Chain A
Amino acid sequence: MDGPVIQEATNAVLAKGQRTAGAIELIARAAEATGRPLVAMTYYNLIFRYGLDAFAHALADAGATGAIVPDLSVEDSGPWRDACGRAGIAPVFIAAQTSPPERLRAIAAAARGFVYAASLLGVTGVRESMDDRARALVASIREETDLPVAVGIGVSTAEHARAVASYADGVIVGSAVVKRISGSSSPARDVGAFVSDLVTAVLST
C-alpha cells in the first residue's frame, strides 16, 4: 500500500515503458554491481500475471534473495510461499501495529529472511516523527520469532534511522529515497549521499 510519492514514481516509470521484465533485469544489474543481498518489493497482481514459479525463479536468477508483497495477506499467500520455497527466495511478511498476537504468530511462522515491522499505521511516505509504538511492535514480534526484525514506513531522516537502529535489526527507507530521485538532476549522487548518511547514523548506534 503505497503513498503518493511512490505512486507518482510508479506512474513515471510506467509512462517510460518500464515493465516487470525490465525491473528484474535491473535487479540483476544491481546484484552484480553491489554484491549485496537484494529484496524485491512489488504488488501481487504483477507476480500473479507473470506466474508464481516463473517470477520466484526469475528473482533468484537475477540474484535477489527475498521478496516483499505488501498486498498479499498470510492467509492467501500459500501458493506464493510454495513457489518461493522451490526457488530459494525468502518471502518477507509485514507486521502492523494493528496485528493482534495470533496474527503476529502466523506472520512469524510464514516469514523467511526477516519480518518487516510497519512502524506507523498508514501508507508508505515521509513522516515528521517516529511513533513510539514501533518499539513495542518490535518487542512483540521478537516474542514470536528469532528472525531479524526490520522497521519501515515513515523513516525519512538519519535521526529516525539512528533511533530505529537502537531497537531493531534493520531500517527500511523507501519514499525518502524515491523523493530524492524524482527531485534531483543528479539522482545517483544525491541518493548515494543520503544513503551514506543513513548508514553512518545506523552504524553509530
Chain B
Amino acid sequence: MARISTDPDAGGHFGRFGGKYVPEALMHALDELEQAFTDARTDDEFNAELDTLRREYAGRPTPLWRARRLTETCGGARIYLKREDLAHTGAHKINNVLGQCLLARRMGKKRIIAETGAGQHGVATATAAALFGQECIVYMGEEDTHRQALNVFRMELLGATVVPVTAGSRTLKDAINEALRDWVTNVETTHYVIGSVVGPHPFPLLVREFQKVIGEETRAQILEAEGRLPDVVTACVGGGSNAMGIFHAFVGEPGVRLVGVEAAGRGIASGLHSATLGAGEPGVLHGALSMLIQDPDGQVRPTHSISAGLDYPGVGPEHAYLREQGLADYETATDDEALDAFSLLARTEGILPALESSHAIAWIAREARALGTDAVAIVNLSGRGDKDVETVRSIMKARDGAH
C-alpha cells in the first residue's frame, strides 16, 4: 500500500496545524489522556472490547450500498453510499463515543461531558454513557436546542442532562466553549468527549483513530464490489470527523481523489456560510491552530448553515494539513443544494439523509456526469435525516408559499 503517514508529531502538529493551545489547567489532563490512549491503542483487551461493541452494539460493519437509481438520475459515476446512517443512534458519531467512553472508564473518570450541534454527538454520548453507567452532561447552544428539540428530549430520555448555552451565537462554537469551561473546572473527575477531529492534541488524532473504521471497512467493501479502489471518496465537513474517518484509509493513495464538502450556506459571497477551508484564514480556536472563519483582527465571525452540525467556524487541523499538502480537495454546497439533495436521495433511494450528509450528496449530484460513467464514487452518508424532517418541512413550506 502506497500510504502516506499522517500521524501528528509528538506535540500534536500536522505540519504547521494542530498543537495544544489550551490553559495550563488542562495540559496535565491532555497528557494523561494521551498516555491512556497510547496504552489503550496497543492493548488487545481494549481493542477486543471495542470491536465487540462495534459489532454487537453499534451494528458494524455498516453496509456499502450501490445507489443504482441515484447513479442513473445523476447520469455519470457509479455512486456508492457508505451507510453510517444505519449505525446505532443514526450517525457515525457512535464510533467515536464508544471509544472515548471506554477510554474514560479505563481512566477511572465517571463523569462525561460533551458538546453538541445537531444533537447527534450529544445523543451518541448520552447513549454510551447510559451503556457504561456514567454521568453525562451535554452542552448545546440554545439556538440548536430549538432547531433540534427532539434530540434534546432523546438525550434526556437516555439519562443525560442537557445544558442550553446562551452565550454568543448560541450554537456549536459556544457549546464547545462551555464544555471546555466545565472541563477546566472539573478536570480531575471528568472526561470531555469531544465530538469531532477538533480541539487540542490528542483529540484530533484520537477521534480520527476511533472513526477510521469507516474507511477501513469501505476499502474492503469496494474492493469486494468493484475489484478496485474508488476514483472519488467524498464526505461533508463541519469539524470533519466523518470525512477523516472515511478518508484516512485512502490518504496518499494514487488515483483516489478525496473531496470534503463544506457548507456554503446562502453562498460564500453572502458571508453567511461555514466554509472554513474554502474561505477562512489560519487561526487558533478551541485548542488548535487550524483554519478559522474570522475577521482581520482574529475575532471569530458568525457562521451559517442549514445544518447545525456544519455550522462551525473552525475545522479539524488534519483537514487544514491535507488541503495544504494537496492530499484532499475541499468544495462547497449551498443550503439550497443540500435541500435538493435531501429530496433527491429520498426519492431515488428511499433514504432520508441528514442535512449535513446532504451536502456531500449535493456535490456528487453536481459532479457525477463530469466524472464519467467509468468512475466509481463513494459518498459517506454520515447520518440519517429523521432529525431534520421538521426543519425541511418548514423550509419547503416557506419556499412553496413564496412561489
How many A residues have CB within 8 A of the partner chain? 37
- Across the interface, B23 reaches (CB within 8 A) one of A1, A7, A75, A107, namely A1
Asked, given contacts A3-B181, A49-B297, A99-B28, whether A76 binds B21 with beta carbons under 8 Å apart, the answer is: yes
Within the complex, the shortest CB–CB distance from B176 to chain A, in Å, comes to 12
Check if B108 is an interface residue, CB within 8 A of chain A. no
* Contact segment of B92-100, B184-192, B354-362, B380-388: B184-192
CB distance from A130 to the nearest CB of B (A): 16
Indicate which residue in A11, A45, A48, A71 contacts B168 across the interface (CB closer than 8 Å): A11
User: How many residues of chain B are within 8 Å of chain A by beta carbon?
Assistant: 34
Query: Which residues of the partner chain B approach A70 to less than 8 Å between Cβ atoms?
Result: 23-24
Q: Which of B15-55 contact A (CB under 8 A)?
A: 19-29
Rounded to whole angstroms, the CA-CA distance of A4 and B27 in the bound complex is: 22
Is B284 interfacial (CB-CB < 8 Å)? Answer: yes
Least distance between A86 CB and chain B CB atoms (Å): 21
CB of A98 within 8 A of CB of B28, answer: yes
Given known A72-B21, A73-B20, A94-B23, contact A49–B184 (CB-CB < 8 A): no
Residue of B nearest to A73 (CB): B20
Complex Cα distance A1/B180, Å? 9
Given A46-B298, A49-B294: A121 in contact with B25 (beta carbons within 8 A)? yes
- A95 & B24 in contact (Cβ 8 Å cutoff): yes
Residue from A11, A19, A70, A122 whose CB has the most chain B CB atoms within 10 Å: A122
Q: Which residues from A are CB-within-8-Å of B19?
A: 73, 75-76
Which has the most chain B C-beta neighbours within 10 Å: A4, A98, A118? A98
The answer to whether B296 and A49 have CB atoms under 8 Å apart is yes
Contact with B along A35-67 (1 / 0, CB 8 A): 000000001111111100000000000000000
Whether A45 lies near B283 (C-beta < 8 A) is yes
Partner of A103, one of B24, B187, B294: B24
Asked whether A71 lies within 8 Å of B184 as measured between CB atoms, the reply is no
B326 at the interface (CB under 8 A from A): no
In the complex the two chains form, what is the Cα distance from A103 to B31 in whole Å?
A: 11
Pair count A-B, CB < 8 A: 108
Residues of A within 8 A of B197 (CB): none
Asked if A123 and B184 sit within 8 Å, CB to CB, the answer is yes
Q: Contacts A44-B284, A71-B23, A99-B24: A20 and B11 contacting too (C-beta < 8 A)?
A: no
B292 CB–A CB distance under 8 Å: yes
Check B20 against A76 for contact (C-beta < 8 Å): yes
Query: In the bound complex, how far is the Cα of B338 from the Cα of A15, in angstroms?
Result: 33
Interface centre among B19, B25, B167, B283 (most CB of A within 10 A): B25
Min CB gap B297→A, angstroms: 5
A74 CB to nearest B CB, Å: 8
Asked whether A1 lies within 8 Å of B297 as measured between CB atoms, the reply is no
Q: Which of A43, A73, A95, A118 has the largest number of chain B CB atoms within 10 A?
A: A73
Report A-chain residues with C-beta under 8 Å of the C-beta of B180.
Answer: 1
Q: Give the contacting residue for B184; candidates A19, A100, A103, A122; CB below 8 A.
A: A122
Complex CA distance for A121 and B185, rounded to whole angstroms: 5
Give 7 new A-B contacts, CB below 8 A, not counting A48-B283, A73-B19, A94-B23. A7-B167, A11-B168, A71-B22, A75-B19, A93-B24, A94-B24, A99-B27
6 shortest interchain CB distances as A-B pairs: A49-B298, A122-B185, A96-B25, A1-B23, A45-B284, A98-B28
Could you list which residues of chain B lie within 8 angstroms of chain A, going by C-beta atoms? 11, 19-29, 167-168, 180-181, 184-188, 281-285, 287, 289, 292, 294, 296-299
